[in-house]
């Protein structure tokens, strides 16, 4: 059993390494690694897409998981930043095959569509966002971090950890959805909330929240 588990772990690791080689900066997963503890890069991107060359960031947080107001699904913001005036910025970049337009950045909770392919700064940024090879990029900050995450053993390990964390998050979200469905069914059968919570391994407060009708 232990050997089988080791083989599975090694297979996942090799698959992660293969995925990493093909990542573009515009990939959600890779963007997490790029912005992590990287105020200079987030600042560069925001300066370009906002057209504010003097913008200064004091804080940048990645992987800020938030629930939409509707509660429909969770949203992972690639970077959440605050400038020197206290103004907040959300950067969310998605690829078209993930259900969004090819080049999209979220700025001040509004969508700014950017589809440039020229020699302007924003055009070069869009070019770099779609490169898998750091040597093909215009911006040194982006190229250096891309090279670190793809070629430096420490950076590669960091990205493998990001991918493993994402798998665990997906598993946890799937488990919660299953537990919620079970709670609703047990409630319909008349089982007390306390017993439901005990059966599915979630808190009474969580179960109550699931079973309470949402205001329209």
Query: Domain map of the chain by residue range?
Result: 18-151, 165-211
**Nearest residue to 89 (alpha-carbon basis) of 56, 137, 123:** 56
Question: Could you read off the pLDDT of 8-35 as tens digits, one per residue?
Answer: 888 888 989 999 999 988 887 898 889 8
- Measured in whole angstroms, the distance separating CA 154 from the mean position of its chain's CA atoms is 21
Q: Coil, helix or strand for 132?
A: coil
Tokens representing 68 are 């939409």
Q: Coil, helix or strand for 214?
A: coil
Altogether, the residues listed in the chain come to a count of 216
Question: Could you read off the pLDDT of 82-141 as tens digits, one per residue?
Answer: 777 888 877 665 554 444 433 333 333 333 334 556 788 988 998 999 899 999 999 999
**Nearest residue to 55 (alpha-carbon basis) of 16, 8, 9, 88:** 88
Place of tokens 């079973």: 211
Give the residue ranges of DSSP H helices in the chain. 2-22, 28-35, 39-50, 121-129, 140-151, 153-188, 193-200, 204-211
Instruction: Give residue 214's pLDDT band: very low, low, confident or very high (50, 70, 90).
Output: low
Whole-number average pLDDT of the chain: 77
Half-sphere exposure of 65 (CA within 13 A, CB side): 7
Q: What is the pLDDT of residue 92?
A: 65
Question: Could you read off the pLDDT of 103-117 as tens digits, one per residue?
Answer: 333 333 333 334 556
Q: Is it the case that residue 152 has pLDDT exceeding 90? A: yes
Q: What is the pLDDT of residue 54?
A: 83
The Cα 139–Cα 127 span in angstroms is 10
Q: Look at domain 165-211 and name its CATH class.
A: mainly alpha
Q: What is the pLDDT of residue 63?
A: 55
The Cα 71–Cα 67 span in angstroms is 6
Average pLDDT over residues 61-68: 49
């Amino acid at each position: 059993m232990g050997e089988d588990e080791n083989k599975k772990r090694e297979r996942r690791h090799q698959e992660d390494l293969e995925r990493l080689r093909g990542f573009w900066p515009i990939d959600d997963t890779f963007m997490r690694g790029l912005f992590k503890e990287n105020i200079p890069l987030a600042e560069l991107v925001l300066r370009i897409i906002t057209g504010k060359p003097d913008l200064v960031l004091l804080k940048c947080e990645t992987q800020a998981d938030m629930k939409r107001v509707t509660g429909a699904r969770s949203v992972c913001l690639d970077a959440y930043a605050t400038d020197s005036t206290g103004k907040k910025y959300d950067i969310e970049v998605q690829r078209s095959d993930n259900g969004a337009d090819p080049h999209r950045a979220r700025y001040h909770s509004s969508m700014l569509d950017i589809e440039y392919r020229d020699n302007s700064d924003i055009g070069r940024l869009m070019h770099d966002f779609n490169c898998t090879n750091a040597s093909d990029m215009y911006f040194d900050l982006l190229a250096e971090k891309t090279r670190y995450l793809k070629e430096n053993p420490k950076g590669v390990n960091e990205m493998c950890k990001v991918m493993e964390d994402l798998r665990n998050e997906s598993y946890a979200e799937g488990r919660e959805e299953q537990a919620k469905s079970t709670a609703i069914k047990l409630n319909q059968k008349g089982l007390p909330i306390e017993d439901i919570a005990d059966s599915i391994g979630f808190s009474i407060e969580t179960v109550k929240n699931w079973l309470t009708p949402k205001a329209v």
